[in-house]
Amino acid sequence: MRVKVETDEQRVIQSITITGDFFLLPENALWKLEERLKGAKLERNEIIKKIEQVFEETGAIVVGSTPQEIAEVILEAREP
């Protein structure tokens, strides 16, 4: 999984793109996840909460991963 994330000075996500070799079902959950993460503060607990909300709302699953692992990839994408 690869993540490209852009934030403002307050570390609020302005844009995010999640790509790579992973299976997220249903497929539209990825778009919903990216949309939900926009405007979120780039902090572990907030990111996990947003991911879990999308998974619950859509019934989404990521084969071989957890919301916490996805959050870590997102956070690492913005480390200096």
Q: For 5-64, write each residue's pLDDT tens digit.
A: 999 999 999 999 999 888 889 989 999 999 999 999 999 999 999 999 999 999 999 888
Q: Are 44 and 38 in contact (CB under 8 A)?
A: no
47-68 pLDDT, tens digit per residue, is 999 999 999 999 999 888 888 9
Q: What is the model's pLDDT at position 79?
A: 63
Q: Which CATH superfamily is domain 2-77 in?
A: CO dehydrogenase flavoprotein, C-terminal domain (3.30.390.50)
Residue 80 has pLDDT above 70, yes or no: no
Residue ranges covered by each domain of the chain = 2-77
Give CA–CA dist 22/44, Å, rounded: 21
Cα R_g (the chain), whole angstroms: 12
Give CA–CA dist 47/44, Å, rounded: 5
Identify the residue whose tokens are 């990521």: 62
Q: Are 47 and 74 in contact (CB under 8 A)?
A: yes
